[in-house]
């Protein structure tokens, strides 16, 4: 599928799709979207790029092994779950900062959890796809 149109389009699509993934991640709490879907979209952006330019080029863009995103994402998610325990609420209770911030919106533990999920999903999907395509 290495046509010139696809190749040129993919290099513009990658940043656009990543931006869209972050948009989906941020709107996730009250509207359809969230960390899982956002992570999938971000992963698909890289997969699309690898279809057009080959796996090696995509690895070059990411620079580190995508599996490394898993522990980072998991620790972010775990921290967001543990934060309420510090104030004596049950695990995973949503804590919110009351003043909305421009662009991002409301900040709370749920958003931090979603960011963790986002990173884990990117890490897992890219690891799976890179591993499968390497061994074919």
Partner 1 sequence: MSNPYIILPVIFQLFTAILLMFFWTKKNSQKLISIICSLITLGISIWLITIVLLQGIHVTQAGGWEAPFGITFVADPLSTLMILLTSISGLAVSIFSTGSVRNARIKFGYFPIFHFLLMGLNGAFLAGDIFNLYVWFEIIIISSFVLITLGGEKAQLEGSIKYVTMNLLASVVFLTAIAILYGLTGSLNMADLSIRVANIENRGLVNVTAILFFVGFGIKSAVFPLHFWLPASYHTPPPAISAIFGGLLTKVGVYALLRVFTLIFIPDDFMTDVITWVAIMTILTGCLGALVQNNIRKIFSYLIVGHIGYMIAGLGMYTEAALVGTIFYLIHDIIVKTNLFMVTGVIFKLKGTYSMRNLGGFYKTYPKLSLLMAVPIFSLVGIPPLSGFWAKVFWIESGFITENYLLVFVLVFGSFLTLVTMAKLWAEVVWKDGDALPMKINVKYFWELKPIKRVAMIVPIVLLSMVSLYIGFGAEHIISISRLIGSQLIDTTPYIEAVLGPLNAEVI
Partner 2 sequence: MELLLVVIIGLLYAAGIYMMLRRSLLKLIIGLILLGNGANMLIFLLGRIVKGKPPIIDASESILSGIYADPVPQALILTAIVISFGLQSFAIILIKRAYKVVKTDDLDEMNATDEDL
Does 128 bind partner 2 (CB under 8 A)? Our answer is yes
CA distance 30 to 15: 25
Tell me, what DSSP letter sits at residue 64? S
Pair of tokens at residue 119: 């990173």
Does 20 bind partner 2 (CB under 8 A)? Our answer is no
Residues 35-94, interacting with partner 2 (CB under 8 A): 36
Residues 18-47, interacting with partner 1 (CB under 8 A): none
12 or 30, CB closer to partner 2?
30
Under a CB-based contact definition with an 8 Å cutoff, are residues 35 and 121 in contact? Answer: yes
Q: Reduce the DSSP state of residue 44 to 3 states and report it.
A: helix
Nearest to 130 by CA among 40, 46, 52: 46
Pair of tokens at residue 34: 């969230």
Shortest gap between Cβ of 130 and partner 1 (angstroms)? 16
Span from 10-18, 86-94, 96-104, 128-136 in contact with partner 2 (CB under 8 A): 128-136
**Using CB under 8 A as the criterion, which residues of the chain lie in contact with partner 2 when the complex forms?**
36, 124, 128, 131-132, 135
**Using CB under 8 A as the criterion, which residues of the chain lie in contact with partner 1 when the complex forms?**
67, 70-71, 74-75, 78, 81-82, 84-85, 88-94
């Amino acid at each position: 599928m290495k046509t010139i149109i696809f190749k040129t389009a993919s290099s513009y699509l990658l940043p656009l799709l990543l931006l869209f993934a972050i948009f989906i991640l941020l709107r996730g709490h009250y509207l359809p979207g969230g960390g899982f879907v956002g992570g999938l979209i971000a992963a698909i952006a890289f997969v699309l790029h690898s279809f057009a330019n080959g796996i090696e080029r995509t690895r070059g863009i990411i620079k580190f092994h995508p599996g490394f995103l898993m522990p980072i994402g998991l620790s972010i998610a775990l921290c967001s779950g543990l934060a309420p325990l510090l104030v004596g609420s049950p695990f995973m209770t949503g804590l919110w900062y009351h003043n909305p911030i421009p662009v991002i919106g409301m900040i709370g533990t749920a958003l931090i959890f979603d960011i963790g999920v986002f990173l884990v999903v990117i890490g897992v999907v890219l690891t799976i796809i890179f591993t499968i395509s390497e061994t074919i």
